[in-house]
Structure formats: C-alpha cells, structure tokens
Amino acid sequence: MKSTLTGEVTCDKMYLKVVRTLSITADLIRGHTETIILSRLMISDSYGYRINKSILSLTNNEYELKEATLYSAFKRLEESGQITSYWGDESTGARRRYYSITDMGKQTYQRLCSDWQITKKMLDTLIGAGNNEYNIKGTQI
C-alpha cells in the first residue's frame, strides 16, 4: 500500500480514494448554533426537525445538531425575543411547533453575521494557509 500527496491510496489491484473530512470542533459550531437557526428562519418559518434536516443537507451530511442542543437554543431564542413559536395545522400530519424570527431576531442575525465576517477575517490572517511564518511541516520559514 502506498499513499500519494493527493490523498489517494493504492493497494495492489484495488484503487481506493480517501475522502478527507473536515475536522470541526463541537465548541466552534456550538458557539454559532443560534446564528445557524436564525439563518434558517430568515428563509421561512419552520420546525425543529426540518431545520435540522436542512443543516444536514447543506453540510452534505457532515453536521447535525443534537436534538437537545437544538431545542435548548429554541428556548433561549424565544425567551430573549429573537423568535416566536406557534402550533401548526394538524391537517398535514402531526401537530408541529413552528418557529418564526422576529424583527429583533433579524437585527441580531445581521449583527452576528457581521461579527462572524470580522472574526473569520481575523482567523484567516492569524492561521490561514500561506499567511503564517511556518510551512506545512511546522518548520519556521
């Protein structure tokens, strides 16, 4: 078996391509749970299961919020006036609790997005590829 720089692995007559997955710490994502929920509600009112499925879909099945995390965030957002909730119509199936973003929530979402862009730019500067004084092997340049 030999490995190449492209992330491909060959083994005798078999050919396997190693899919490199992103390693994202739970703490980093957890810090943006409310922003993620608000972003989904900026599109339309929704319920927990649908929001979680959209997150899973948008991340190509690489990230899913834990149910407890999702509903704790809904509770915090509702208590702070960022979102409201209401019961949906049962005629389409199970009765679901829908969430809707408030005007205050929209303002908060815009501020959080702005904060994220500033933070992202700072992190790109501090640890971004090619922007630091160390090469890929950790040797100082």
CATH number of the domain that 115 lies in? 1.10.10.10
Check residues 104 and 12 and name the one with the higher pLDDT: 104
Instruction: Please state, in angstroms and rounded to a whole number, the distance separating the CA atoms of residues 69 and 65.
Output: 6
Q: What is the mean pLDDT of the chain?
A: 80
Do the domain assignments include residue 80?
yes
Cβ neighbour number for residue 51 with a 10 Å cutoff: 21
How many Å is the maximal CA-CA distance in the chain? 66
pLDDT digits (tens, 9 = 90+) for 45-89: 999 999 999 999 998 988 888 999 999 999 999 999 999 999 988
DSSP summary character for residue 132: S
Question: Is residue 82 situated within a structural domain?
Answer: yes
Domain that holds residue 87: 31-127
Tell me what pLDDT residue 10 has. Answer: 37
Q: How many domains does the chain have?
A: 1
What would the mean pLDDT of 26-31 be, rounded to a whole number?
A: 76
Residue 117 falls inside a structural domain: yes
**62 domain-assigned:** yes
Q: What percent of the chain has pLDDT above 70?
A: 71
